[in-house]
Structure 1
Amino acid sequence: MSWRSWDLNLKVRLFGELITHTFFWMYFPFMALLFSDSFGKDMAGLLLMVPPLLGMFSNLFGGYLSDRIGRRPTMLTSLILSSSMFGLFAFSWSPWVDYLAFIGIGIAGSLYWPASSAMVADLTTEEDRRVVFATFYTAMNIGVVAGPVLGSFFFIHYRFELLLVCMIIEILFAITVFFLIKESLPAHVREEKAKERFSIKEQFKSYAVIFRDKVFALYILAGVFIAIAFMQLDLYMALYVNEHVQSQPLVSWGDWSFNVGGTSAFGWLMGLNGLLVVLFTLPVTNWFQHWSDRNSLVISSVLYGAGMFMMAFSTNIWFLFGCMFVLTLGELIRTPVAQSFISKYSPEDARGQYMGASSLQFSIGRFIAPLTIGISAWLPPVGVFGLILGVSLLSAYLYVVLFRKIPANQEG
């Protein structure tokens, strides 16, 4: 699917989300530092557990809204809320106001993404969907790479100005969505939903029906296990590299050498991961677009777990770069396939809710993943990395079981 043939909705949102995501990552990585300074590390750790919990519910509500009132109104609601919260953050007079604004921004983002993903699915064909999702994923990761670099200067030295610009960017994006984006939820679905009575009870009933779908429940469970492995990039891998990777030459020339180790080595590894994602998401998606969803999800889980596990056997920085390449390949194979699978599997009138429910795998995985830090006090690195490999292989096995059930499910 060439860029010129894209729907205007997709083109506008691609650029808008690239800009807003870059500004998001200019402040987000520094929240733990900000709240640790304001409340102390113990209190900050407890406070930072709340946003993912609220995000789980707002993701589900965002999916429900996008199916009931439409993708466009849900995105506009999210952008209005986020711009208000950025304004509150900028003019904050208390650390607790900072925290409430941070929670509000998180809730707004959780409302936005189910509607955004559902709109992509609405406007693309099944064969083009992987490439379009991969393009959006690439744009998002440009923000992940560029945002923290810019934020390390602007957030520290010009926090008020940065947050004010974030508010203005959100307002401008909301205006753009209002004037240029058209609703993509099919008219007949909107008419049917309009007849239904709006209630929280009905929302929970509709989600109960979704989670009684055994195939979808298996998909969420498999996603939770691989999400636990994904989260280790910022958790156990960071701890392992910081504690075990001693200062060593990255490059040398004669008597001169450039050394990395500990925190700097971790920074280089994460930089490589971000660079590979930006450069190779679209090429990898094109190379593997003829693979079945089953094979793509299974192989991606195995590659990610294997890349993590190999890190236990050497602290040489170039060996670790190779491990990072393997696990990033698994990440790149998985991401567009996982998004397109849900859009294919979900019914047209519940696509937003399925997208919202799908996000639970990452929320639940984010809660469980920090357990590896405590386990590392009892097990050597090879044992912890072995557990990470184990949950990745369990995820791969569940994907195999899942796709055995799908043909019978469809025939029924």
Structure 2
Amino acid sequence: MTLTGMISDRVGYRLTISLGFVLRGIGFGMFALGTSPLFIFVSAIIAGIGGSLFEPTGDAALTTLTNAQSRSRTYAVKKVTDNLGIVVSALLGSLLVSVSFHLLSLISGALFVIAGIMTYIRLPSMRIQVKPVAWGDMWRTVTRDKPFVHYVTVMIGYFFLFMQLYLAIPARIVDLTQQASSVSVVFLVISVMMILFQIPINMLVKRFNVIRTIQAGFALLGTGLLVLGNAGHVAVFVAGISLFAVGMMVIEPSSFDLTSRLARPDMTATYFGFYYLAMAIGGGISQGTGGLLMQVGSSSGLPGLIWWIGALVALLAIAGANPLRNSLSRSSGKEAP
């Protein structure tokens, strides 16, 4: 995504987002035609490249189209619409896949292609770099921005915790209920909570220092993991997942807002692309070690090991974020945001 962000800043956001949607649509459509594992693998790569084109560029476009005062709220609204889409797609997707996986793939692909065409028609043309910045200069600018690199390093911890939503948390609810179908309830609860509470929570936390807000979000994530990991009843598990969801709702708009503030105006997509390195690294570590920690914990009589490690990661992220306020003040020459 760092590379695609750099490309976006050079060629413009509208074309990059539109191309990303179309490529994602082609990749999804190819799933319907897959006759071998290799073909499915290639389809996934094409779909992934499409996502890498529109994800950081979409965030950069939101930044460009909004003023500084409304960016956090704009991103909160985006999270609400994202989760509305998740809820609707979960309902419709489960119906379609029971009819035909091929039909589901074709419809999903067609929706992305339509979104790409609509984006190209409706999104204003945003040429960010009037005079193109050299590729090497773009890379050196973002990698030598010490406060931003520090911030991205802290956010590795967020994505480590976030990915437990797809690993340890589903395993935990299945362990409690002995029903695999209960996993879908977890995602439904989080999506509904975000739809209902994301904007009110954003209005509440935007009054506070953004670094302190992110630290509070980490505290909620770590506490939520400990509660649900040690829950002996589904009701306690729901309380834990609710704390975890609130932590996500506190951190995500704040992290978007901070990235947009730190980004150089003519390199906004590059900065967002570099930010997503935190997702790649944190998510990769989480997926790589999460299952191992669960196995080690079970075999050594410490089934709660993964939850305590998660809480420790949250504490380390809180401590790591603490110096950011001063470093941001020094780099900007004014009070930290």
- The reply to whether TM is greater than 0.5 is yes
**Residue 406 (1) aligns with residue 328 (2):** yes
C-alpha contact (below 8 Å) 2:9/2:270 kept by paired residues:
yes
Q: What is the alpha-carbon distance in structure 1 between the residues aligned to residue 42 and residue 261 of structure 2?
A: 37
Q: Secondary structure at the match of 1:369?
A: helix
- The verdict on how the C-alpha distance between 1:283 and 1:389 changes in structure 2, with shifts beyond 3 A counting, is same
- The within-5 A match list for 1:196-215 is 203=135, 206-215=138-147
Q: Secondary structure at the match of 1:384?
A: helix
Deviations 1:125-178 (A, max 9, x none): 111111111111111112222323322231242222222223332232222222
**Residue 364 (1) aligns with residue 303 (2):** no
Matched to 1:135, the amino acid is V
Q: What is the alpha-carbon distance in structure 1 between the residues aligned to residue 129 and residue 186 of structure 2?
A: 47
Equivalent of 1:309 in 226, 234, 238: 226
Structure 1: runs of 5 or more not aligned: 1-58, 197-201, 248-260
Structure 2: runs of 5 or more not aligned: none
Matched to 2:70, the amino acid is D
Q: What is the alpha-carbon distance in structure 1 between the residues aligned to residue 331 and residue 6 of structure 2?
A: 24
- The verdict on how the C-alpha distance between 1:165 and 1:383 changes in structure 2, with shifts beyond 3 A counting, is closer
Moved >4 Å (runs of 4+): none
1:236 counterpart residue number: 168
Equivalent of 1:132 in 66, 69, 74: 74
2:131 counterpart residue number: 192
Deviations 1:238-296 (A, max 9, x none): 223323x1x4xxxxxxxxxxxxx443444333321121112111111112221221121
Q: What is the alpha-carbon distance in structure 2 between the residues aligned to residue 80 and residue 272 of structure 1?
A: 31
- How far apart are residue 361 of structure 1 and its match? 0.8
Per the normalisation by structure 1, the TM-score is: 0.75
Q: Secondary structure at the match of 2:185?
A: helix
1:289 counterpart residue number: 206
- The verdict on how the C-alpha distance between 1:324 and 1:209 changes in structure 2, with shifts beyond 3 A counting, is same
Q: What is the alpha-carbon distance in structure 2 between the residues aligned to residue 165 and residue 269 of structure 1?
A: 26
- The verdict on how the C-alpha distance between 1:270 and 1:80 changes in structure 2, with shifts beyond 3 A counting, is closer
Q: What is the alpha-carbon distance in structure 1 between the residues aligned to residue 318 and residue 257 of structure 2?
A: 18
Equivalent of 1:395 in 314, 317, 325: 317
96-105 or 153-162, larger mean C-alpha shift: 153-162
Q: What is the alpha-carbon distance in structure 2 between the residues aligned to residue 148 and residue 106 of structure 1?
A: 20
Q: Secondary structure at the match of 1:377?
A: helix
Q: What is the alpha-carbon distance in structure 1 between the residues aligned to residue 278 and residue 312 of structure 2?
A: 17
Q: What is the alpha-carbon distance in structure 2 between the residues aligned to residue 190 and residue 99 of structure 1?
A: 35
- The verdict on how the C-alpha distance between 1:211 and 1:161 changes in structure 2, with shifts beyond 3 A counting, is same
- The within-5 A match list for 1:9-408 is 59-185=1-127, 189-193=128-132, 203=135, 206-243=138-175, 245=176, 247=177, 261-370=178-287, 371-379=289-297, 380-408=302-330
C-alpha contact (below 8 Å) 1:294/1:400 kept by paired residues:
yes
- The verdict on how the C-alpha distance between 1:282 and 1:88 changes in structure 2, with shifts beyond 3 A counting, is same
Q: What is the alpha-carbon distance in structure 2 between the residues aligned to residue 146 and residue 315 of structure 1?
A: 31
C-alpha contact (below 8 Å) 2:228/2:239 kept by paired residues:
no
- How far apart are residue 68 of structure 1 and its match? 0.6
- Give the number of the structure whose alpha-carbon radius of gyration is greater: 1
Q: What is the alpha-carbon distance in structure 1 between the residues aligned to residue 205 and residue 235 of structure 2?
A: 27
Matched to 1:220, the amino acid is V
Q: Secondary structure at the match of 2:131?
A: helix
- How far apart are residue 76 of structure 1 and its match? 2.0
Root-mean-square deviation (CA, aligned residues, Å) is 1.9
C-alpha contact (below 8 Å) 2:217/2:247 kept by paired residues:
yes
Q: What is the alpha-carbon distance in structure 1 between the residues aligned to residue 218 and residue 104 of structure 2?
A: 38
Matched to 2:148, the amino acid is F
